Structure 1
Amino acid sequence: MSDRQREFDVIVYGASGFAGALVAKHLATKSPQGTRIALAGRSAAKLERLGLDLPIVVADADDAEALTTMADRTRVVVTTVGPYAKFGKPLARACAETGTDYVDLTGEVLFARDSIDENHEVARRTGARIVHSCGFDSIPSDIGVHVLHELVQADGAGELTDTTLVVTSMRGGVSGGTIDSMRHQVDVMKKDRRLRRIGASPYSLSPDRKAEPDLGRQPDMLTLAPSEVDPSLRGHLAPFVMASYNTRVVRRSNALRGWAYGRGFRYREVLRVGSPVIARVTKAAMSALVIGFAVPPIRFVLDRVLPAPGTGPSESNRTNGHFTMDIFGVTTTGARYRARVKAQGDPGYAATAVMLGESALALALDRDRLPKSEGGVLTPATGIGDALVDRLRTAGLEITARKA
């Protein structure tokens, strides 16, 4: 972000939507006194109905001039308006051009790839930190590996090699916005072979694919024996629905840091389940969902039974949700390490509102503690780093790392 004074510290764009309202309420109640928060969207009336007594900015998602004016008024824009590939590109571009920091909660690999190509060099020139994926996708993954790496480095234990995130416990509803993003990505990829190749590549978000080490196939749809991950792990391991996105974010962090995690760093994500049958069913269901979106008759049914955009779980379900993610790493010296990221609250809503809101506050208020960077399209680890770790811990998340 450029150093000149801005009218606001944080603008929440899409604050009248389901997820945006949760972020706005978190910031309104948890921000330090004196933090200048504003609400933004295309309808002033809807924003006023939130009852938060905060300034309102009106800007439509396809009005580039209005978005640029909005971005120029604040230090940070936090946006929940998706699918991002459909609605998010003009705002990310406006922030890059005006030197305004930006955070979102995207899990869309094609949008993130486009943003890297279109905005990285612009943001480097202006000093903007464009930080995608600051919700359940992909803060637990990216920040979890970050703290694991820091401890390995502090111990002088070499570099990380095989590293696996295991979702050991999770309870939460499915986001209508996430489902809509999946629909949109399936629609565009089935029409374009080049986009399918990008989506399938394990290094689709890397800054320079040719510079990446050749580590062979790194599949996302994994069913593993626990012993393949760590001797202490029990249960059965099935594919994790967001592995295909989170793994690419973590690999981008490694590359942006000059492969500091290790050039032999192999990263994967899985979900712990109760039986091998459930593991196989989980894998089949995930494949069937993607195929179903691509087949019109099945898509017709799915569109009527899956959550709609702008909807989400009840307050009770949001409160009672939770997640625990354990990250197991082996180093080049043979040492084993383990990190944990754990939070109370529905992962995609209550916990995400905290993670996204605290990401924005770290960028706005903790400038002297951010990782050294000229700006660009960054990741939570490379764009916010330890400033975010500290804020999330203060907000109630458990983020730890230890030698196993």
Structure 2
Amino acid sequence: MTAPHEIDVVVYGATGFVGRLTAKYLAEHLPPTVTVGLAGRSRSRLEAVRAELGPVATTWPLLVADAGDPDSLAALAARARVVISTVGPYAKFGLPLVQACAEAGTDYVDLTGEVLFHRESIDRFDDLARSTGARIVHSCGFDSVPSDLGVHALHRAADEDGAGPLTETTFVLSALRGGVSGGTVDSLRTQIDVVRRDRAARRLAASPYSLSPDRDGEPDLGAQSDVVMVDGRSIAPELTGWKAPFVMASYNTRVVRRSNALTGWSYGRRFRYREVMSVGSSFASPVFAAIVAGGLGALVAGLGFAPTRFVLDKVLPAPGEGPSKKTREHGHFAVDVFTTTESGARYTARFAAQGDPGYKATAVMLAESALSLATGGGALHAGGGVLTPAVAFGDVLTRRLREAGFDIEVRRLP
């Protein structure tokens, strides 16, 4: 019998697509002093996954646990120092495990991109996690590590230069190649179902400060739309072409604003944040941007209307599905975040990596987030609570990702 909290990192959902990728990364990059366990509903399937990971995983303990069995989740949380959860949609399956970790004082990371789940986690378990010291860190993959750590890096650079707080800040997805995540699509379906029938949830999801610890204390900065088409030159003189709305902006922007609020609005009280994506720099870029905006609107509308949802469900990837190994290996992404400080200084941060962003790169970010908690010690955020990647990990995760091959750099612009 393993003693309480003796296993450093447990991958919950290890038999799923992203869970297997995360376990594989850990098996290949595990520090010699860190222990790992695999958790899921089926012991036989866990044994099959462990066998695929090679000799290093031979002695990894297997923990049978299910979202519908609170006792099994409590037993899992009691044995782990850090739990990685890849079991979504989190609104359906995530809260019991968050509760178990908050009660046990166990650190927790996941991949959610669901505003309403994240908000409920804060409302129900933030105080509890603070009291036990559990660090509950949502959104430790492509959503929302590049966004959150990119802005954190800009803030650090401006602060070190004495350039003042950040003001207008824009994330630009400059390059992207990869597959579509079935889990992300299923999370979108789940949230659409909730907001269709619940007016209060609809208002909460639409609020730019829906994840803030103190929504009444947020500054009044006027309208902050998530569906924006902008001329690149309005972001930075160096940018050409119009930029289209980014599909995950409605989630990532709220995570970044929560980071600002959790740190006493350290980015600035005039900090405004938005996310867009490049569609090229040709004369036709406004047309392409409009097509993307219209397509995103049509997708959301289609998933909210039964006849078109039936058709879309036939063609969109299902939960648990993912791209081929070739697609995962040949994928890549690059994000450039631009800001201007109150003194007029301009900075840009680049956050880029090889590998499909929603799968291979996400598995690296998720695993390194857990390893940050397991090995980061006093360099990490000292207290518990429902935190963001920037607040929980900050420079520790930035350093680990650089060592894993990510390109993360900041430079001051003329």
Normalised to the residue count of structure 1, the TM-score between the two structures is 0.98
Give the Cα separation in 2 of the matches to 1:227 and 1:365: 42
SS in 2 for 1:72: helix
Give the Cα separation in 1 of the matches to 2:263 and 2:278: 30
Give the Cα separation in 1 of the matches to 2:9 and 2:157: 32
Q: What is the aligned partner in structure 2 of residue 337 from structure 1?
A: 347
SS in 2 for 1:170: strand
Q: Which amino acid aligns with 2:377?
A: R
**CA deviation after TM superposition for structure 1 residue 5, in Å:** 6.3
The answer to whether structure 1 residue 277 and structure 2 residue 276 are counterparts is no
SS in 2 for 1:190: helix
Contact 2:4–2:78 (8 Å) recurs in 1 = no
4+ residue runs over 4 A deviation: none
Give the Cα separation in 2 of the matches to 1:392 and 1:340: 13
Q: Which amino acid aligns with 1:277?
A: V
* Aligned pairs for 1:116-155 within 5 A: 116-155=122-161
**CA deviation after TM superposition for structure 1 residue 48, in Å:** 1.2
Give the Cα separation in 1 of the matches to 2:304 and 2:171: 29
The answer to whether structure 1 residue 400 and structure 2 residue 380 are counterparts is no
Give the Cα separation in 1 of the matches to 2:393 and 2:104: 19
Deviation per residue, 1:246-275 (Å, 9 max, x gap) = 000000000000000000000000001022
Q: What is the aligned partner in structure 2 of residue 14 from structure 1?
A: 13
Q: What is the aligned partner in structure 2 of residue 219 from structure 1?
A: 225
The answer to whether structure 1 residue 160 and structure 2 residue 166 are counterparts is yes
The answer to whether structure 1 residue 349 and structure 2 residue 359 are counterparts is yes
Give the Cα separation in 2 of the matches to 1:5 and 1:193: 43
Q: What is the aligned partner in structure 2 of residue 47 from structure 1?
A: 46
Q: What is the aligned partner in structure 2 of residue 390 from structure 1?
A: 399
**CA deviation after TM superposition for structure 1 residue 34, in Å:** 2.9
Q: Which amino acid aligns with 2:370?
A: A
**CA deviation after TM superposition for structure 1 residue 291, in Å:** 0.6
SS in 2 for 1:167: strand
Contact 2:336–2:350 (8 Å) recurs in 1 = yes
Q: What is the aligned partner in structure 2 of residue 306 from structure 1?
A: 316
* Aligned pairs for 1:25-174 within 5 A: 25-50=24-49, 51=51, 52=53, 53=58, 54-174=60-180
SS in 1 for 2:339: strand
SS in 1 for 2:335: strand
The answer to whether structure 1 residue 206 and structure 2 residue 212 are counterparts is yes
The answer to whether structure 1 residue 189 and structure 2 residue 202 are counterparts is no
Give the Cα separation in 2 of the matches to 1:107 and 1:89: 14
Q: Which amino acid aligns with 1:239?
A: P
Give the Cα separation in 2 of the matches to 1:364 and 1:34: 10
**CA deviation after TM superposition for structure 1 residue 7, in Å:** 1.6
Give the Cα separation in 1 of the matches to 2:225 and 2:120: 23
Deviation per residue, 1:88-118 (Å, 9 max, x gap) = 0000111011000000000000000000001
Q: What is the aligned partner in structure 1 of residue 242 from structure 2?
A: 236
Give the Cα separation in 1 of the matches to 2:73 and 2:5: 15
**CA deviation after TM superposition for structure 1 residue 367, in Å:** 1.4
Runs of 5+ consecutive residues of structure 1 not aligned to the other structure: none
Deviation per residue, 1:307-341 (Å, 9 max, x gap) = 01110000000000000000000000001011010
How many positions carry a matched residue from both structures? 400
The answer to whether structure 1 residue 266 and structure 2 residue 262 are counterparts is no
The answer to whether structure 1 residue 358 and structure 2 residue 368 are counterparts is yes
Q: Which amino acid aligns with 2:15?
A: S
Q: What is the aligned partner in structure 1 of residue 298 from structure 2?
A: 288
Runs of 5+ consecutive residues of structure 2 not aligned to the other structure: none
Q: Which amino acid aligns with 1:69?
A: A
Q: Which amino acid aligns with 1:356?
A: L
**CA deviation after TM superposition for structure 1 residue 287, in Å:** 0.5
Give the Cα separation in 2 of the matches to 1:134 and 1:386: 14
Q: Which amino acid aligns with 1:264?
A: R
Give the Cα separation in 2 of the matches to 1:56 and 1:93: 21
SS in 1 for 2:222: coil
Q: Which amino acid aligns with 1:19?
A: V
Give the Cα separation in 1 of the matches to 2:233 and 2:411: 19
SS in 1 for 2:411: strand
1:177 counterpart (165, 172, 183): 183
**CA deviation after TM superposition for structure 1 residue 235, in Å:** 2.2
Give the Cα separation in 2 of the matches to 1:83 and 1:97: 22
**CA deviation after TM superposition for structure 1 residue 6, in Å:** 2.1
Q: Which amino acid aligns with 1:219?
A: S
The answer to whether structure 1 residue 251 and structure 2 residue 261 are counterparts is no
Deviation per residue, 1:215-239 (Å, 9 max, x gap) = 0000000000011100001222000
* Aligned pairs for 1:365-380 within 5 A: 365-371=375-381, 373-380=382-389
Q: What is the aligned partner in structure 2 of residue 318 from structure 1?
A: 328
Give the Cα separation in 2 of the matches to 1:266 and 1:6: 41
Deviation per residue, 1:275-295 (Å, 9 max, x gap) = 211100100010011111110
